[in-house]
Amino acid sequence: MTKKNAFYAQSGGVTAVINSSACGVIETARKHADQIGTVYAGRNGIIGALTEELIDTSLESDQAIAALRSTPSGAFGSCRFKLKSLEENRREYERLIEVFKAHNIGYFFYNGGGDSADTCYKVSQLSEKMGFPVQAIHVPKTVDNDLPITDNCPGFGSVAKYIAVSTLEASYDVRSMAATSTKIFVIEVMGRHAGWIAAAGALVEDYGIPVVTLFPEVEFNQEKFLAAVDAKVKEHGYCSIVVSEGCHWPDGKFLAEQGTRDSFGHAQLGGAAPVVANIIKDALGYKYHWAVADYLQRAARHLASASDVEQAYALGAAAVEKALEGKNSIMPTVVRDSSSPYQWHIGEAPLSEVANVEKMMPMDFISDDGYGITDKCKEYLYPLIKGEAYPEYDDNGMPRYVTLKSGIVEKKLPPFEL
Amino acid sequence: MTKKNAFYAQSGGVTAVINSSACGVIETARKHADQIGTVYAGRNGIIGALTEELIDTSLESDQAIAALRSTPSGAFGSCRFKLKSLEENRREYERLIEVFKAHNIGYFFYNGGGDSADTCYKVSQLSEKMGFPVQAIHVPKTVDNDLPITDNCPGFGSVAKYIAVSTLEASYDVRSMAATSTKIFVIEVMGRHAGWIAAAGALVEDYGIPVVTLFPEVEFNQEKFLAAVDAKVKEHGYCSIVVSEGCHWPDGKFLAEQGTRDSFGHAQLGGAAPVVANIIKDALGYKYHWAVADYLQRAARHLASASDVEQAYALGAAAVEKALEGKNSIMPTVVRDSSSPYQWHIGEAPLSEVANVEKMMPMDFISDDGYGITDKCKEYLYPLIKGEAYPEYDDNGMPRYVTLKSGIVEKKLPPFEL
């Protein structure tokens, strides 16, 4: 049996630690050079496989690959490109297998969220049928933290740490200013469907900060919200508000989409944060500041959680190890053994149970009033933001993030139209 | 001659390192306990002196005071409260002197920007006339970096580092996504009158990032701007944009104020970032993301510049030392000896030359096209963001920021109406 090559691709929104998983995959494959040939990476994710744009990672030095561990973003490029169902577009799946066959690729490591778990599952099934079996292993990644079975998803812990720390810092700021100036600080965080990231902001309550959190899971009730904020300001002199981008009115319309128009009539300028800030200002008259963290939160490798970086790496490494054990159509997972002290090990889940299943935040993680988190939620979150894993900095004072050479392998197949 | 007490107050917008200056003042005063009595801090800045709400810092442990060095915000509270001119409101200045007299305060350390330098100057003049001479020393602080004579202002270096690093990280993110998704990332930064902070974002050009920067110093030209952005996207596949909140149209109107209204007709929801993003989307069709950093940038002690933390401390310490040398009506300054290697020492400037003088960004710091910075600007900026000075973190993964006891000294005077 000849040595097979491997294919690795990054999918969907990138994170501060997805490259740490890439590092885990490539370094572990290099350790097993007797069993695995070259690791090819898809240029811009799965699109690179379809168009046969394969980055030859063997051209990258050990040092460059090691630097991936502390570089945010997707070093090989990612994409938002969901393969259609097998019935709708068998052509794309067949092309994938053809490319894998042409480059002797026997291992498919796909690093992403729910959609890519589904793709990974289908590749494994179809390759078998097409007589060129590929071991397909999914490496979990998503700041949304919504993959099932695994305790958490790499990328989430670092966003959570960034949001918890940033909310704390900005709250200290508004506390300093509240006597004569700003009394309200609103921070908008990611999470269109689930309030995992917003929950991390709510942790600042443990640090003496009056905070009201708006989750996508809880319908926005303007009157009740204003009463909650006003009570905090009257007691503490100020209040911080963490609002999830997915926060919505009872009719399902997002706060961020409430018909905002500029003077030219252009729709939807705003985020949820300015909307919430203005609701408070109009009703209660308090001076506000607001921030929208957007990409800053998921790219903030400078404040990554050490737990997260380590798990992202371990899951990438485990994907390769499990492939070498002959495993197929699985996703390595994080299994929590204990929260305090934090102990975990790597498990695995069959892709059939991962694909198309979305893990929501348990309702008993949200406090009764709907504006905070429970002790159970805190016990879940703190281990995920534990520890710091700083990147190196250069003499200018800037982080040493790596940009790879990304040399493309010679094509062997005719072009493919996306 | 009896030993005099000291008064310290924080003024205006707080920063990631103003408490480092407070630490420098208090620790240095404690070292000279034979010459300086108690350091009283104004609760909520100068208002605390007017209302005689004096925080007794002698009640704080050495450990708590040391922790100020790595705690963002204003630990004693700040205020936005500008004393009127002597002619308009002599009553306030006289009250200050009365409070100082009642508590045997012979040293006035005022930590702030241009307005507070002016107040400090007047206190020094008036106290002399009123027969209770107070040595008034101004400790520079402002993220706006607009105080004259000093090479830079504590608070600015840390904001600059945060914005440079965050812009780099988010740019890596958009670069990863650009093939099929987001091609434009816009980050809005502080700086209503001067582009110092925006200039820090422009540093990412040195790290391979296509970036267009919008300064308050350069009138916004929509057509030229769109051409610059489009050229970058066509060449690199994506573009980052750093926009100062002070960016404005030729008629002086801020981009952030262009008549934005929500569905209820509420004015001015937005910042400059969403406006810029929409201008690009409408004209060029590129998908965008945008962030507004707001307080996150000036509170980000987790990513403070080591240069900045050290200088903030040194200026606080120097204020006390110079007071003990008999100096009055001055501001200790940072004097740059060399940029590479970065060397500096503490100098001083008479408050008569500091008060009411605003230092603008030199026009030769902005590139000819108006969208970037020159080598001269980079040479100025890099030393200010050099080095990391991380806070400690607790076992939860959160920073150990201190909240002081803030015990108030017994009042000796009748109440004062503000």
Reported as a single tens digit per residue, the pLDDT across A302-331 is: 999 999 999 999 999 999 999 999 999 999
Asked whether residue A258 carries a pLDDT value surpassing 70, the answer given is no
Spatial CA neighbour of B413 closest among B139, B38, B49: B49
B294 secondary structure, DSSP code: T
Question: Cβ–Cβ contacts within 10 Å for residue A345, how many?
Answer: 11
Q: Reply yes or no on whether B144 is catalytic.
A: yes
Residue B268 has pLDDT above 90, yes or no: no
Average pLDDT over residues B302-320: 98
pLDDT of residue A334: 98
Which residues make Cβ contacts (< 8 Å) with residue A133, sequence separation at least 6? A106, A127, A328
pLDDT over 70 at A262, yes or no: no
Q: Identify whether B413 is part of a domain.
A: no
Which tens digit of pLDDT belongs to each residue from B57-99? 999 999 999 999 999 999 999 999 888 888 888 899 999 999 9
User: Is the Cβ pair B79, A270 closer than 8 Å?
Assistant: no
Q: Is B323 left (phi over 0), alpha (psi -120 to 50) or beta?
A: alpha
B15 and B117 fall within a common domain: yes
Angle at B256 between CA B375 and CA B211, to 5 degrees: 30
Q: Which residue of B has its CA nearest to A294?
A: B291
Distance from CA of A129 to the nearest CA of B (A): 30
Domain assignment present for residue B387? The answer is no
pLDDT tier at B262 (50, 70, 90 boundaries)?
Answer: very low
Read off the tokens for A344. 């975990």
The answer on A180 and A51 residing in a single domain is: no
CA closest to A17 among chain B residues:
B173
Residue B404 placed within a domain: no
**CATH code of the domain containing B99:** 3.40.50.450
Task: Give the SS3 label for residue A142.
Answer: coil
How confident is the model at residue A375, as a pLDDT? 98
* Residues B191, B277 share a domain: yes
pLDDT of residue A202: 98
pLDDT at A289 over 80: yes
Answer whether A305 touches B (CB < 8 Å).
Answer: yes
Residue ending a domain, choose from A254, A276, A301: A301
- Residue from the list A10, A172, A292 with its beta carbon closest to the beta carbon of B291: A292
Q: Residue A345 domain-assigned?
A: yes
Q: How far apart are CA A403 and CA A94, in angstroms?
A: 32
| pLDDT score recorded for residue A387 | 98
Those of residues 127-156 in A touching chain B at CB distance below 8 A are none
Contact B289 A282 (CB under 8 A): no
Residue A208 confidence (pLDDT): 98
Model confidence at A238, in pLDDT bands (50, 70, 90)? very high
Shared domain check, B172 and B51: no
pLDDT tens per residue, range B381-417: 999 999 999 999 999 999 999 999 999 999 999 999 9
Q: Is the pTM of the predicted complex or chain greater than 0.95?
A: yes
Other beta carbons less than 10 A from residue B234's beta carbon: 9
Q: Whole-angstrom Cα distance, residue A189 to residue A331?
A: 28
**C-alpha span between A361 and A377 (Å, rounded):** 9
Q: Is the pLDDT of residue A261 over 90?
A: no
Residues of chain A found within 8 Å of residue B190, distances taken between Cβ atoms? none
Tell me which residue range forms the domain holding A118.
Answer: 4-141+304-356
**Residues of B (66-95) whose Cβ lies below 8 Å from A:** 71-75, 77-81
Q: Alpha-carbon distance A228 to A242, whole Å?
A: 13
What ipTM did this prediction achieve?
Answer: 0.97
Is B336 known to sit in a ligand binding site? no
- Please tell me whether residues A290 and A163 are part of one structural domain: yes
Q: How confident is the model at residue B203 (pLDDT cuts 50, 70, 90)?
A: very high
Q: What is the mean pLDDT of residues B358-370?
A: 96
Question: Does residue B205 belong to any structural domain of this protein?
Answer: yes
CATH number, domain with residue B296: 3.40.50.460
Domain total of chain B: 2
For residues B99-108, give the mean pLDDT: 97
**Tokens linked to A408:** 């493309």
Question: Residue B20 contacts by C-beta under 8 Å, 6 or more apart in sequence?
Answer: B68, B69, B70, B154, B309, B312, B313, B316
Residue at B417 is within a domain: no
For residue B140, give the nearest of B20, B295, B4, B5 by alpha carbon. B20
Q: Do residue B277 and residue B311 come from a single domain? A: no
Does B323 have pLDDT greater than 50? yes
Pair A264, A317 in one domain: no
Residue B384 assigned to a binding site:
no
A169 to B301: CB separation less than 8 angstroms, yes or no: yes
Partners of A8 in the β-ladder: A41, A109
Domain limit, last residue, from B301, B321, B341? B301
> Would B137 be classed as within a structural domain?
yes
- Mean of the per-residue pLDDT values of chain A: 95
Give residue-wise pLDDT tens across range B19-67.
999 999 999 999 999 999 999 999 999 999 999 999 999 999 999 999 9
Tokens of A222: 């303007």
Based on the fold, state whether residues A133 and A64 are members of the same structural domain. Answer: yes
Look-up of token digits 């995920």: A384
For A258, the closest chain B residue by CA position comes to B263
Q: Which of B301, B331, B346 is the last residue of a domain?
A: B301
User: Greater confidence, A262 or A251?
Assistant: A251
**B315 shares its domain with B278:** no
Q: How confident is the model at residue A86 (pLDDT cuts 50, 70, 90)?
A: confident
Residue B398 lies in a domain: no
B161 and B123, same domain (yes or no): no
Cβ distance A22 to A89 under 8 Å? no
Binding residues of A for substrate: 142-144, 190-192, 245, 295-298
What end-to-end distance do the CA atoms of chain A give, in Å? 33
**Shared-domain flag, residues B295 and B313:** no
Closest CA relative to residue B161, chosen from A170, A397, A295:
A397
DSSP assignment of A326-354, as one string? Answer: T--SEEEEEEEEETTTTEEEEEEEEHHHH
Q: Which residues of A touch B307 (CB under 8 A)?
A: 397
Q: Are A299 and B173 in contact (CB under 8 A)?
A: yes
Q: Give the whole-number percent of chain A exceeding pLDDT 90.
A: 90
Residue of B13, B294, B397 with shortest CB distance to A385: B397
CB contact under 8 A, A390 and B386: no
Environment class of B348 (CB within 10 Å of its CB; exposed 0-12, middle 13-18, buried 19+)? middle
Asked whether the predicted pLDDT for residue A168 surpasses 80, the reply is: yes
* Together in a domain, B131 and B222: no
Q: What angle do CA A156, A161, A164 make, to 5 degrees?
A: 120
Is residue B260's pLDDT more than 70?
no
Question: How far apart are the C-alpha atoms of A99 and A130, rounded to whole Å?
Answer: 13
B166 contact A CB<8A: yes
In this complex, the residue of A16, A47, A305 whose CB is nearest that of residue B397 is: A305
Catalytic residue of the set A34, A62, A115, A144:
A144
Do the Cβ atoms of B398 and A185 come within 8 Å? no
**Partner residue facing B387 (CB), from A78, A278, A397:** A397
The residues, any chain, with a CB within 8 Å of residue B63's CB and separated by 6 or more, are none
Place B267 in a pLDDT band, splitting at 50, 70 and 90: very low
> Which stretch of DSSP H or E encloses residue A9?
strand A4-10
